[in-house]
Amino acid sequence: MQERVLKLLEFDKILAMLAGCCVSEPGRERALKLRPLTELEGVRLLQDETQEAEIYLAALEAHPVAAFSDAGGALNRSRVGAMLSMRELLDVAGVLRASRVLRRALAAGNVIEGDVLSRQAAQLYEDHALEKRIHACIQSEDEMADNASPALFAIRRNIRRENARVREKLSDIVQSARAQKYLQEAIITIRGGRYVVPVKQEYRSQVPGLIHDHSASGQTLFIEPMAVVEINNSIRQLQAEEEAEIDRILEELTGLVAPIADDLSGNIDILVRMDVVFARAALSGRMRGVRPVMSEDGEIALKGARHPLIAKDKVVPIDIRLESGKFGLIITGPNTGGKTVTLKTVGLMAVMAQSGLHIGAALGAKLPVYDGVFADIGDEQSIEQSLSTFSSHMTNIVGILSRVTPDSLVLIDELGAGTDPSEGAALAMAILDGLREKGATVLATTHYGELKAFAMETPGLDNASMEFDMETLRPTFRVLMGVPGQSNALEISRRLGLDDALVQKARGYISREKLDFEATLSEARARLNEAGRELETAKQEREQATALLKEAGEKLEKAEAKREAMLNKAGENAREIVQDAKAETERVIKELRQAAASTREAALEKEIQSARDALRAQEKKTYGFLEEREGALAPPPKDLKIGETVSLIGHNLRATVLTLPDAKGELLVQAGVMKLTMHVSRVRRETEPPPEPDAAVRREGLRIKALSGEIDVRGQTVEEAVMNIDRYLDDVVLTGLSEVSIIHGKGTGALRAGVHKNLSAHPHVKRFRLGNYGEGDAGVTVVELK
């Protein structure tokens, strides 16, 4: 890819955004150097990485790539035996930490098993012990920890003790009444690493000691009193020992790094690469990007494509389609109507896709893989070379024609402009013929009406135009496929106030053929606009109907819930009344027995038994009434299954469904050894789940294989597949299976990504992985159930 074209398409600004998503400085540097690949398999691998990274970012609590510095220079120095500084060792520890965090975050089974990124992360070298040792010894880039070694701890303890001694002695000196008149200030300071006091110059002889410094004016001398010279000497000796011990520790740590320098260099390369991969995923999320399908037949299909550098509140999504077998698209329209932005959008999305970046468009976006993108966009004339606008454009086009191949994309803004219109149009048609002969794909903008007709007459060449609102006299920036742009100069001039006579005179200067052509275009555009309005009205009506249906469903659910609550409350009240009556009867019976314990026992017992029998009959009648009432008011069960257990209203029986309800609503059930024909309104679904059938079950086109434990969702949309897999997993957990397979195929990877994203948050899923060799490879996902 030409650097000039990449800059023209503003790819450098996309890379700056990508670099801003990196967590490390080496990653940012690598991101700014990213360039498009030109081989299909390489591009697909980059897109696989970005898609998998998106899944990880959604599933993991923390970013898997921890911040790290480039320790490459430190590793090179360790190889030749140079002692590493504390800063360099901390950089090495940072690489070890980032390697450990990434490897464990992407460890097989954590989110996706067997994916591209986890296989790369598995190559990272880990040495947690060395990482901990470095951090335990070094507190910052210029401070070694006291407990880095026993010797260092002892030396620093002695330094602190000697410092305390010298400060104590000097404090006695500066606070004594005798020394007050000798000192400039009653303070203790340090000069040359030794403790001193500030003495007035005229009293130099009154304070015996060593002079280490003086003030700028010469009025103050910094003297080390003889009383502390020996202690200061001791401190300097201890400080020398401290430095030697620190060097010894650094040498020791360097000795641990040197043998693994090659491994750590490999780690840095993987970490930098992964930083950029996850930055691509993060940028995709920021742009609301999608993975493009890399077409092999030359098809371009962009729906709702948004230029990533235009503000979200200002960008107008565009639809561009160039079918397989077509070689070019001619885009016409008014100035500042969006033609150039459309060219740049297509070109930029092509190089973004080939760099592993997702693009801002609707799902299903398709782009070929080009071996080169060539562009002549804008006024690139060179004052130094004394080239005119036309000469500059022609120089670019000559270069393009000499380099394009059948796998190239050519973007030309204002083809043939800058010269006589008739000659410019003729040149433009000849250039298009030349590009067609080369087999290249071309998108070109123009103002020439001749090119509209040329596109209509030339096989493989399509027309498109930028929409212009004649009511507001403003462009809408929408692309209209298949419709050439209409010339609006005369009508716009008339609406802006130009005299009608002049407008009519201008029309007289235009050929009849061109006027007829423009009239035909105007009629076609009017019909297209009318069809668009009708389509929009139909969409709105469908949305309103959907909303009304949803509202009605919600109201029905609320009504059913309210009715069920009222039924439950009525039933509870009735049962409480029966229970109270039963308790009261038993109490009265007990009192009667106690009162008549010695007389008419047999007769009284008979009366008591009769009362109890009457109570039981009333209780049975009451509960039977409640059951009948609940059954009558409750809606009949829907979606009954053969083998499901139900209750028979009014019979206090449980039965098994043998047949589904017929047209009359009747079904056959079995209660014990009895087979009964019941109306569906007389059965009620049991609350406990029915036993799962052993045979294969077909539900809404989904085949659940109970014995093989696999589901095939190939050919389904992501939404359909996710819904069917959810149902399947809900069913299969009841069978006791611990592992199942989901067949989604390889394809573009979009279905697999959607399935994996759903599995990563599914409550029944413990972990999942791609199939191994013999299991279906990347076309199958093996799921382990909880």
- Cα 726 from Cα 747, distance rounded (Å): 22
DSSP-derived 3-state class of residue 743 = strand
> Does residue 517 form part of some domain?
no
Output the pTM of the full model: 0.62
Q: What mean pLDDT do residues 279-285 have?
A: 94
> Does residue 529 form part of some domain?
no
Q: Which of 83-97, 666-680, 715-729 has the lowest mean pLDDT?
A: 666-680
Confidence of residue 703 (pLDDT cuts 50, 70, 90): very low
pLDDT digits (tens, 9 = 90+) for 371-394: 999 999 875 544 344 456 778 888
pLDDT at residue 746 above 60?
Answer: yes
- Cα 324 from Cα 366, distance rounded (Å): 11
- Cα 278 from Cα 290, distance rounded (Å): 15
Are 369 and 470 contained in the same domain?
yes
Residue that wins the pLDDT comparison between 629 and 131? 131
Burial class (CB in 10 A: 0-12, 13-18, 19+), 611: middle
> Does residue 533 form part of some domain?
no
Are 332 and 416 contained in the same domain?
yes
Are 192 and 322 contained in the same domain?
no
* DSSP type of residue 219: S
CATH number at residue 434: 3.40.50.300
Confidence of residue 561 (pLDDT cuts 50, 70, 90): confident
Q: What mean pLDDT do residues 402-419 have?
A: 90
Are 331 and 426 contained in the same domain?
yes
Cβ 93 vs Cβ 131: under 8 Å: yes
pLDDT of residue 545: 75
Structural tokens at position 704: 């659940």
DSSP-derived 3-state class of residue 476 = strand
Are 374 and 301 contained in the same domain?
yes
User: Mutual orientation of helices 261-287 and 25-32 as an angle, nearest 10°?
Assistant: 70
pLDDT at residue 733 above 80?
Answer: no
> Does residue 338 form part of some domain?
yes
Are 275 and 316 contained in the same domain?
no
Are 197 and 227 contained in the same domain?
yes
3-state secondary structure 654-681: EEEECCCCCCCCEEEEEECCEEEEEEHH
Are 354 and 452 contained in the same domain?
yes
pLDDT digits (tens, 9 = 90+) for 480-528: 887 776 666 676 677 778 888 887 877 776 655 554 555 555 555 656 6
Task: Give the CA distances from residue 44 to residues 38, 368, 406, 617, 695, in Å, rounded to whole numbers and listed in that order.
Answer: 11, 11, 20, 78, 41
Query: For residue 397, which amino acid is it?
Result: I
Query: For residue 274, which amino acid is it?
Result: M
pLDDT of residue 696: 36
Q: What mean pLDDT do residues 88-103 have?
A: 95
Cβ neighbors of 695 (< 8 A, separation 6 or more) are: 706
Q: Which of 377, 320, 321, 284 is nearest to 6 (CA)?
A: 377
Cβ 184 vs Cβ 198: under 8 Å: yes
> Does residue 544 form part of some domain?
no
Structural tokens at position 700: 């809404």
Q: What mean pLDDT do residues 319-326 have?
A: 91
Mean pLDDT of the chain: 81
Neighbours of 633 (CB within 10 A): 12
Among 84-98, 109-123, 545-559, 754-768, which range has the highest average pLDDT?
Answer: 84-98
CATH number at residue 129: 1.10.1420.10
* Owner of token pair 């509140």: 313
Helices (H), 326-388: 339-353
pLDDT of residue 293: 94
Cβ 413 vs Cβ 466: under 8 Å: no
Whole domain around residue 674: which residue ranges? 645-685
Q: What mean pLDDT do residues 238-248 have?
A: 95
Q: Which helix (H) or strand (E) segment is 140 a member of? A: strand 138-140
pLDDT of residue 775: 74
Are 76 and 169 contained in the same domain?
no
> Does residue 29 form part of some domain?
yes
DSSP-derived 3-state class of residue 38 = coil
* Strand ranges (E), 201-322: 209-214, 220-225, 293-295, 300-305, 318-322
- Cα 423 from Cα 427, distance rounded (Å): 6
Cβ neighbors of 645 (< 8 A, separation 6 or more) are: 654, 655, 656, 657, 686, 688, 690, 691
> Does residue 258 form part of some domain?
yes
Confidence of residue 691 (pLDDT cuts 50, 70, 90): very low
* Strand ranges (E), 701-786: 702-704, 710-712, 739-743, 765-770, 780-785
Cβ neighbors of 604 (< 8 A, separation 6 or more) are: 592, 593, 596
Q: What mean pLDDT do residues 554-571 have?
A: 69
Q: Which of 286-295, 438-447, 731-740 has the lowest mean pLDDT?
A: 731-740
Provide the b/e sequence for 383-399 (b: ≥16 CB within 10 Å): eeeeeeebebbbbbbee
Cβ neighbors of 89 (< 8 A, separation 6 or more) are: 74, 134, 138, 250, 253, 254, 257
* Domain end (from 476, 510, 544): 510
- Cα 228 from Cα 235, distance rounded (Å): 10
Cβ 614 vs Cβ 646: under 8 Å: no
Q: Which of 346, 472, 325, 282 is nearest to 5 (CA)?
A: 346
User: Mutual orientation of helices 339-353 and 11-20 as an angle, nearest 10°?
Assistant: 50
Structural tokens at position 557: 């659910």
Are 122 and 176 contained in the same domain?
no
> Does residue 637 form part of some domain?
no
Cβ 704 vs Cβ 693: under 8 Å: no
- Cα 573 from Cα 292, distance rounded (Å): 63
Among 336-340, 636-640, 742-746, which range has the highest average pLDDT?
Answer: 742-746
Q: What mean pLDDT do residues 104-126 have?
A: 78
Query: For residue 218, which amino acid is it?
Result: G
Are 336 and 436 contained in the same domain?
yes
Are 627 and 702 contained in the same domain?
no
Structural tokens at position 64: 């898997």
pLDDT digits (tens, 9 = 90+) for 464-479: 888 777 677 677 778 8
Domains contained in the chain, number: 6
Q: Which helix (H) or strand (E) segment is 465 a member of? A: strand 461-469
Structural tokens at position 469: 């609102």
Cα 127 from chain centroid (whole Å)? 31
pLDDT digits (tens, 9 = 90+) for 296-314: 999 999 999 999 999 888 8
